[in-house]
């Protein structure tokens, strides 16, 4: 029995670069950096001084922009969440609604409830939780009365499902920095194996607390020493002076559908999801494994029936860590063999920083837009290329490149590896 084909019919993005698809692609291709000094944590005594900061973002302005584009009843429900929900949950409902609007699902026949929501992430509202703990220490009765509900990661899925009236399965999955790819895997399964017509994958903005950032600095995971006065240069995958990843806010959503359902309703189809595969290193520490990464890439190729030679582009995990970047290059060489020299590879985190749990969704949106534009963004801040990086990583410049198949890598803390493969849709 053949697998159901999966269409991508809706996309939405929210990063410090842009919260619209066209502007997002334009700034990526221009090599713009979203990294600045932290505004959210300017008063906190933490080592992390720079990041991709969305705390100045105006959810009300986005709500107003969507008003004329969505049905009144959806707008009314969304408005309540934008007024009352914690910051990260506001962004999840907005980006999900934007993708739903982009997919034109308002006119689709989903009344049978076969529309699911899968959120990729965990510990999402960390700053909100810390703020309530501080209030509790001073006066317990003054904490947010909805804290018991809104501190739960599942509240993101529940909030999105209420706004969009998605009455199929809804849930949250956590796989560290592979979370949004794992969420895509689950959403594909809902369509292929559980009869859903459509699903929305939400990669939420991780609302870091200062404790999170300081702990990551103490662990040596993030860069915090050399570029505090030049934040736009801080995220530098593949460069000899990389020190660690640069944490960043960012959210994205993808609507996927059963291909037959999407084609029958005349949906615009951005790309086809061929499959998503996951493997573990059997190691809870944040030590990347070339063997584990390579095994996951091979599993994805095998499951999708794609040969290494068919892949034309790899959207790399490439976090700007000394060990992580070269480990991924080694795994790519292992999987692709001689064809590795023909691949185009780029590092979205060089401009966006590391959006953590949402990164696979944020970078899938970026990759799909590049596939359709037939042009790849450069990997910026490569002043002195690491000599072990002997592949084409689009150093410092965008490139024209047409390709039919692409791979999106994500490798999370705890030895969690998840890889997705997409195909150009030509009707």
Domains of the chain in start order, with CATH, are 6-271 (3.40.47.10), 276-424 (3.40.47.10)
CA–CA–CA angle 174, 179, 185 (5° rounding):
105
Residue 115 bridge partners (DSSP): 198
Q: How does pLDDT run along the chain (427 residues), one tens digit per residue?
A: 468 999 999 999 999 999 999 999 999 999 999 999 999 998 899 999 999 999 999 999 999 999 999 999 999 999 999 999 999 999 999 999 999 999 999 989 887 778 999 999 999 999 999 999 999 999 999 999 999 999 999 999 999 999 999 999 999 999 999 999 999 999 999 999 999 999 999 999 999 999 999 999 999 999 999 999 999 999 999 999 999 999 999 999 999 999 999 999 999 999 999 999 999 999 998 889 999 999 999 999 999 999 999 999 999 999 999 999 999 999 999 999 999 999 999 999 999 999 999 999 999 999 999 999 999 999 999 999 999 999 999 999 999 999 999 999 999 999 999 999 999 998 7
Residue 376 has phi, psi (to 5 degrees) of -105, 140
* Tally of CB atoms within 10 A around 341: 11
Q: Specify whether the backbone of 285 is left (phi greater than 0), alpha (psi in -120 to 50) or beta.
A: beta
Q: Which two tokens stand for residue 336?
A: 């692709």
Identify whether the C-beta of residue 48 lies closer than 8 Å to the C-beta of residue 224.
yes
H or E, element range at 418: strand 416-424
Q: Which two tokens stand for residue 386?
A: 């690491």
CA–CA–CA angle 32, 37, 41 (5° rounding):
135
Give which of 363, 336, 333, 361 is closest to 347, Cα–Cα: 363
- Rounded CA separation 10/96 (Å): 9
Identify whether the C-beta of residue 298 lies closer than 8 Å to the C-beta of residue 392.
no
Residues in contact with 195: Cβ distance below 8 Å, sequence separation at least 6, in sequence order: 114
H or E, element range at 260: helix 259-264
Residues in contact with 12: Cβ distance below 8 Å, sequence separation at least 6, in sequence order: 21, 95, 96, 98, 99, 102, 252, 253, 365
- Rounded CA separation 150/144 (Å): 9
- Rounded CA separation 158/165 (Å): 10
Q: Is residue 232 classed as helix, strand or coil in its secondary structure?
A: helix
- Rounded CA separation 364/359 (Å): 8
Beta-sheet pairing, 311-315 with 405-412: parallel
**pLDDT value at position 110?**
85
Q: Specify whether the backbone of 195 is left (phi greater than 0), alpha (psi in -120 to 50) or beta.
A: left
pTM for the predicted model, two decimal places: 0.97
- Rounded CA separation 409/403 (Å): 17
Give the long-range contacts of residues 145-153, CB within 8 A, separation 24 or more. Answer: 146/84, 150/85, 150/86, 150/89, 150/125, 151/86, 151/125, 153/119, 153/121, 153/122, 153/123, 153/124, 153/125
């Amino acid at each position: 029995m053949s697998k159901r084909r999966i269409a991508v019919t809706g996309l939405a993005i929210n990063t410090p670069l842009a919260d619209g698809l066209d502007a997002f692609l334009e700034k990526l291709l221009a090599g713009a950096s979203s990294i600045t000094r932290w505004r959210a944590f300017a008063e906190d005594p933490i080592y992390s001084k720079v990041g991709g900061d969305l705390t100045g973002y105006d959810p009300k302005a986005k709500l107003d922009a969507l008003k004329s584009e969505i049905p009144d009843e959806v707008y009314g429900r969304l408005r309540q969440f934008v007024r009352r929900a914690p910051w990260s949950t506001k962004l999840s409902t907005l980006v999900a609604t934007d993708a739903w609007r982009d997919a034109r699902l308002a006119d689709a026949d989903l009344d049978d409830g076969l529309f699911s929501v899968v959120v990729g992430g965990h510990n999402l509202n960390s700053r909100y939780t810390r703020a309530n703990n501080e209030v509790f220490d001073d006066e317990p009765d003054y904490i947010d009365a909805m804290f018991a509900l809104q501190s739960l990661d599942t509240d993101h899925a529940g909030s999105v499902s209420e706004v969009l009236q998605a009455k199929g399965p809804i849930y949250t999955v956590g796989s560290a920095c592979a979370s949004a790819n794992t969420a895509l895997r689950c959403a594909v399964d809902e369509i292929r194996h559980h009869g859903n017509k459509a699903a929305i994958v939400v990669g939420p903005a991780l609302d870091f607390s200062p404790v999170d950032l300081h702990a990551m600095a103490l662990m040596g995971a993030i860069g915090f020493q050399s570029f505090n006065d030049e934040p736009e240069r801080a995220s530098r995958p593949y460069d000899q002076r990389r020190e660690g990843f640069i944490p960043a806010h960012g959210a994205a959503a993808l609507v996927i559908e059963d291909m037959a359902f999407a084609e029958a309703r005349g949906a615009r189809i951005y790309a086809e999801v061929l499959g998503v595969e996951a493997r573990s290193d059997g190691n809870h520490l944040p030590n990347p494994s070339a063997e584990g990464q390579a095994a996951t890439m091979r599993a994805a190729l095998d499951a999708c029936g794609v040969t290494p030679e068919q892949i034309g582009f790899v959207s790399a995990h490439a976090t700007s860590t000394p060990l992580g970047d070269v480990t991924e290059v080694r795994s790519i060489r292992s999987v692709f063999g001689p064809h590795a020299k023909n691949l185009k590879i780029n590092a979205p985190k060089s401009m966006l920083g590391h959006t953590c749990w949402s990164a696979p969704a944020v970078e899938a949106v970026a990759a799909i837009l590049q596939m359709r534009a037939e042009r790849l963004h450069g990997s910026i801040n490569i002043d002195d290329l690491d000599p072990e990086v002997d592949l084409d990583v689009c150093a410092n410049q965008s490139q024209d490149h047409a390709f039919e198949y692409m791979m999106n890598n994500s490798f999370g803390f705890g030895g969690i590896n998840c890889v997705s493969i997409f195909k150009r849709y030509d009707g």
